[in-house]
Structure 1
Amino acid sequence: MNINATNSVQLDGENSNGIPSSVFSQVAQEAEGNSEGIELTTSFLELTNGGIVSASTRGVGDAGAVNIKATDSVRLDGESSNGLSSTISSRVNSGAEGNSRGIELTTSSLELTNGGRVNASTSGVGNAGEVKITATESIRLDGESSIGLSSGIFSRVNSRAEGKSQGIELTTSSLELTNGAQVSASTNGVGNAGNIFVRNAKSVLLSNNSSISTAVEPTSRGTGGNINIQTNSLTLEDNSRISARSQGIKRAGNINLNVSESLTATDSDITTSSTQSAGGQIDIIAKDIRLRGDSDITTSVFSGTDNGGNITITTDSLIAFADSDILAFARDGRGGDITFLTPIFFGFAFRPAPKGTDPATLDHNNRVDINASGAIDGVITLPNLDFITNSLTELQDNFIDTDSILANSCIVRTKPQEATFTITGGGNLPLRPGDSSSSPYPTGVVRAIPRDSSPRPLQKGDPIHQATGVYQLPDGRLVMARECG
């Protein structure tokens, strides 16, 4: 199906029978054959109040690809009266045999709000296709629907499905997830969760319970997907998280963050966890890292003899405040290694936790903890700060005497430029012999030099003259004073 609309395509609401405004390409139940998919080109695409663009299969055959090119923007907002979110989807439905060919969306800006979704999934025998989105300016995901469905971008292998998620790739200048929005690749069936890539972003913001995650659900036999984020700045705040978890029998995915400038987390977490298999690793490269409030970087394995994931942090400076912790835990296996490759590390009230410490006791204790506990503890490599200790200069015992740096009088410049005074004429000689000499310049009474030249102590009521500068005396001392005159 090809749709070419110069200005806009708008799908809004539903008809009187509750059928949403939609564009469908579908392999029907019991049918055999592939869906050719949907090709949609326009300037502006808007799906509101349950509008849908979907390619799917219910029979034997592939669900076609959904390719959308909107030069201006794409906006998905809200839900229908029966709770169906405005959605762009590619699906393999329950009972079907075939692959989802995924979704490719190219635009300037993408906005998903109030439950709006982009979703590739499989509930049958076949793979969930890749979700590939290129938005040159921004991707903004915000909020939830009235029934609690998060706005977001999803790639899923659903319960009882046999197939793998092909993952999510986002290329944009600005990525914002706010108020519970999600980017998620997960598996609840027989197949792996896909990877998530965020490429070439200038900024990534997660705020107010938002998340980027990969997950293996309890009934799944697949492995967890990796999360890879490349950005100039990464900000997490208000209970947001980047997580890779596995509740199944296979390992959790890894988290790789490459941040060219600053990574800041406030009351938010970066975590990998596994209930019964190997923990995922966390590798962070950032110019500067700031952890505030209760912000944790953790890898955990809660049962089984597999090892905890390693944590490697490469940065120019790592500063952790309040109750922020860095932990690599494995209950029955070896704790993960924690390695700091940084010249500067500061942790508020920091102290390494003793071996065998239960990580649960390290949270909410109002200090920074670093721990790699396990049946065998992992290795913690902290930066060598001896160069700071050895370069400290001992302070002098004698404090500055303020009286000694305040002059008791105004300052007269020394070594003034020499001058001459020349009188020409009679030279004060009398005009005739016997006459008295008279000076052409009258002189008054010359004031005598006071015998006691010591300064009088300042008394109450004396005027106070502010210093106008710092002056160097002949002996080299510096005093605060004002010039005379």
Structure 2
Amino acid sequence: VASKSNLSLVGGNFTLQDATLSASSGQINLVSVASKGEIIPERGELGVQTPNISNFTKLGHIEMINSRAETTGSPSGGISIRGDQFWMDNSSIHADNLGDTDGKYIDIQTNESIQIQGKYFGVISNSFGKGDAGHIFINTPYLKIDQGTIDTSTKGEGNGGNIDIKATKIDVIEGGIIASDSYSTGNGGDINITATESLSVTDKRIFLTPEQADFTSTIGSASLDKGNGGRTTINTGQLIMDGAAISSNSHVSGDAGEILINADSIDMINGGTMTATVMSQSSGQGGSVTLNVKEKIYITGFRPGLSFTTTDVFENLQSAIVLITFGTGNAGNVNLLAKELVVDNNASIATATTGLGDAGNLTIEVDNLYVNNGGFISNSSGGIIGGKIFPGFGPAGTLKITANNEIVVSGQGAFSASGLLTNTLVSAPGGNIEIQTNKLTLADGGTISADSLGTGDAGTLDIKANTINLTDGGNITTSSAYAAGGNIAVTTSGLLFLRDGQITTSVGTGVGKGGDITIDNPIFIVMDGGKIKAQADAGHGGNINVKSNQFISSPDSLISASSKLGIDGQVRIDSPDMDMAGFLVILPGGFVEASMQNCNTRDGSSFKVSPRQRTVPFENKN
């Protein structure tokens, strides 16, 4: 139809095949009904005219096959779709804004389902001028995006439109994308998703060669120029990320957007990732990730083959939450709140810098934390990615964990032992780790460590727990190759138990001082083959200060504060002296020959159970 005109298709079930509907800067209405009634145009909540279908008791089915509906113009027009079901197969809905004024909306509402299928096809509202892109509104019980796209990006001075999706259940599969990116000076729009039952973002395709590979299923935003990325907000019952991604990236100078997720539970499996990245040429700030989860967060496994993400290509991509900067901008922070967090099977949660920017902080508040089978939680300056070493020149952040019940770190993975880690590879200082919990268990090689492989000082470890168990290679350690070692402070009001476990600080070479170890206030320290060591090379050895009500150590345990070439540190143990001889009973030294103690032959014994009766009081006649 002519520019700025309306085009309406109203009827029963209908299909658009190999068709094009165009109303530049106008309005397109697609309505399918399956009962009697009257459609009354009205000005809705969106501030524009929409079809009122409240008089109909049943709606119909609309299908688009190899078709296109568009209101692209200066400004873009609006599009409204109503029905029970709306399916798009290799079809597009476009409302691109080419002008200086803001574009209108795309509004799709159904009573049953919406399905968007086909690579590079979907619902798109972009801005190419000074005006903002129009918003996209979707309301349906079930939304499925199969390789399709919902996109409100900006490629001009105007801002990208917002994406607002409300559904009971949403599936984004096999390369499906929900995005609002900034390719110019305008800011990306916000993505707001509410799925009351579940949101599943999955990609089970396996790519073995680059020629086969395709982008992973993704929800998120990116800043690819001066404009800022939009914010992604998700509210759902269950969030499932199976081999897919939620991301926010900064590529040039614009800031990356934030990611906020409120859910009952989150499962990140088979290479599911959540990332906020500042790329190597970017001076923009990284976006933060905030997770508020009522029950459990479970992160595990890897995706076989090649994974094409918005930032790079990875082989056998591990499930992870990663906030990293490769550039001069700072990485964002992670704030995680849940009842239970499980990081398993080489999965990870990490903040890092491999550039000049600072790494972000990582804050976790849970009831229970389990890090198993090579899983790890870390903050670092520098890192190893895809087998390559990336030096970091910005400082590492702080890892702070509060667990009301317990923290368990245990087991070996394919690459390393499980751990809570901070490290620095070059000259920047390492980060610190702060832990507070009721019970801390490190077993089967599980570790809490702060390491420096360069000239930057190792970070410090501050651990507070009522009970601490280090068994079978579990260890708390700081180490430095060349610089000063980090300090370790352990505070516990109950038991500190080391069975083949260690608390150590060390400096490999150079004149750096070994870190100090302070253990304060346990009722018992029990060492069964355990070690507490503060070592240095040419510098002074670190000091060991222990204050405990009771200190019990086996002969094969060790406490040492030494320096190979420098001055040894001091060991101070403040614990009451106890002479155990005063509490021991001396047993007779002679032994009786067992063969001389045969029992006399007697009649067999018997045991009889009788009903309970009244007991006659005993009378003492003496």
TM-score by length of 1: 0.73
Q: Do the aligned residues in 2 keep the contact of 1:112 with 1:141 (CA within 8 Å)?
A: yes
Secondary structure of the corresponding residue to residue 395 of structure 1? coil
Structure 1: gaps spanning 5 or more residues: 14-19, 79-85, 359-365, 403-456, 469-485
1:32 aligns with 2:185: yes
Q: What's the counterpart of residue 75 of structure 2? A: none
Aligned to 1:99: 255
Tell me, yes or no, if structure 1 residue 212 matches structure 2 residue 377. yes
1:394 shift after superposition: 3.5
Please report the RMSD computed on the Cα atoms of aligned residues, expressed in angstroms: 2.8
Residue 344 of structure 2 is aligned to residue 178 of structure 1: yes
**Counterpart contact for 2:329–2:357, Cα < 8 Å:** yes
Distance of 2:463 and 2:290 partners within structure 1: 24
Residue 46 of structure 2 corresponds to residue 46 of structure 1: no
The match for 1:244 is: 422
Cα separation, partners in 2 of 1:180 and 1:350, compared to 1, 3 Å: closer
1:6 CA displacement: 2.7
Aligned partner of 1:154 in structure 2 is 322
CA offsets 1:78-125 (integer angstroms, 9 cap, x no match): 2xxxxxxx10011012xx111112211111101100000111111011
After TM superposition, give the deviation of residue 395 of structure 1 in Å: 1.6
Q: Residue deviations 1:275-318, cap 9 Å, x none?
A: 211111111111111111112211111113xx311111111111
Distance 1:352 1:104, change over 3 A: closer
> 1:325-380 deviations in whole A, cap 9, x for unaligned?
2111134211111111123112223466696689xxxxxxx965555555555554
Of 364, 380, 384 in structure 1, the residue corresponding to residue 575 of structure 2 is 384
Q: Is the 8 A contact 1:321 1:348 kept in 2?
A: yes
Say if 2:108 is the partner of 1:108: no
1:270, CA displacement in angstroms? 0.6
Residues 1:211 and 1:380: Cα distance change in structure 2 (over 3 Å): farther
Q: Distance in 2 between matches of 1:292 and 1:354?
A: 19
Q: Specify which structure has the higher proportion of strand.
A: 2
Listed as ranges, the gaps of 5+ residues in structure 2 are 1-161, 204-215, 305-314, 383-389, 412-416, 539-554, 609-622
Provide the secondary structure at the position in 1 that maps to 2:338. strand
Amino acid at match of 1:115: G
Change (3 A) 1:268 1:459: closer
Residue number among 220, 224, 227 corresponding to 2:399 in the alignment: 227
1:253-264 aligned within 5 A: 253-264=431-442
Q: Does 2:356 align with 1:190?
A: yes
Q: Which amino acid aligns with 1:60?
A: K
Contact 2:514–2:535 (CA<8 Å) still a contact in 1?
Answer: no
- Residues 325 and 369 (structure 1), Cα distance of their counterparts in 2 relative to 1, 3 Å cut: farther
The answer as to 2:603 corresponding to 1:463 is yes
Change beyond 3 A, Cα 1:23–1:380: farther
Seq. identity, %? 23
* Amino acid across the alignment from 2:227: G
Look up the equivalent residue of 1:51 and give its one-letter code. Answer: S
Give the Å deviation of 1:135. Answer: 0.6
Measured in 1, the distance between the counterparts of 2:228 and 2:172 equals 25
Contact 1:296 / 1:325 at 8 angstroms: preserved in 2? yes
Structure 1's 63 and 282: CA in aligned 2 closer, same or farther, altered over 3 A?
Answer: same
Q: Does 1:314 align with 2:480?
A: no
Q: Which residue of 1 aligns with 2:449?
A: 271
Residue 2 of structure 1 pairs with residue 163 of structure 2: yes
Please list the CA deviations of residues 41-71 of structure 1 after superposition, one character each: whole Å capped at 9, or x if unmatched: 222111000321010011111111111111x
Q: Which residue of 1 aligns with 2:275?
A: 119
1:347 matched residue in structure 2: 527
Distance in 1 separating the partners of 2:270 and 2:410: 20
For 1:298, give the aligned amino acid: T
Task: Output aligned runs, 1:395-414, within 5 Å.
Answer: 395-398=585-588
Residue 5 (structure 1) shift: 2.0
C-alpha displacement of 1:10: 1.2
Distance 1:367 1:212, change over 3 A: farther
Label 1:278 to 1:345 Cα distance change in 2 as closer, same or farther (>3 A): same
Residues of 1 paired with 2:303 and 2:556: CA distance? 38
| 1:262 Cα deviation after fit | 4.0
Q: Quick one: distance in 2 between partners of 1:128 and 1:36? A: 17
Distance 1:6 1:121, change over 3 A: same
Aligned equivalents of 1:166, 1:277: Cα separation in 2: 22
Pick one of 300, 311, 317 that aligns with 2:479: 300
Deviations along 1:365-410, whole A, 9 cap, x unmatched? x965555555555554445152x446851323448999xxxxxxxx
Q: How many residues align?
A: 383
Whole-Å Cα distance in 2 between the matches of residues 163 and 371 of structure 1?
Answer: 43
